[in-house]
Amino acid sequence: MQWAEKLGFLALGYQTVIFIELICCGVWRSGIAAEQDVYLCPQCSRPAKIAIIAEGVTKSPLPLPWQQVEKPFPAKIRQLLLMEGIFDAGYSVKPKRQPDRHRRKARAVAAADGRLGGGAT
């Protein structure tokens, strides 16, 4: 927002608001008057990181009440997300050893080929 535009709104009784998104116990959004040093999760009260998503003007009293826009990840997903290196390019799940159900068929085909004189004689 341009300063002149902002001042116009301020003259009309609006106040500037910074819309932020906090990710901790789910995703939360709020509007605050000014940036803070620490942001506490509205659910667990632990310090959390935020992202500024927009700046605007409002006549609502600030800060705006927190709104949960996304529910927290299920425990299993959170565990996966916290796993070190899971998104690294080199990361791969160790393949489980399992019987190759096509191998027997391949062997049978090869044997059949041999019987039908597939070999050079």
The binding site for Zn ion (CB under 5 A) comprises 24-25, 41, 43-44
Rounded to whole angstroms, how far apart are CA atoms 81 and 85?
A: 9
Between 15 and 26, name the residue whose CB sits nearer to Zn ion: 26
Residues 6+ apart with CB under 8 A from 115: none
* Helix/strand/coil for 87: coil
Between 74 and 99, name the residue whose CB sits nearer to Zn ion: 74
Rounded to whole angstroms, how far apart are CA atoms 103 and 105?
A: 5
Between 18 and 41, name the residue whose CB sits nearer to Zn ion: 41
Smallest separation (angstroms) from Zn ion to the CB of 35 = 20
Smallest separation (angstroms) from Zn ion to the CB of 9 = 33
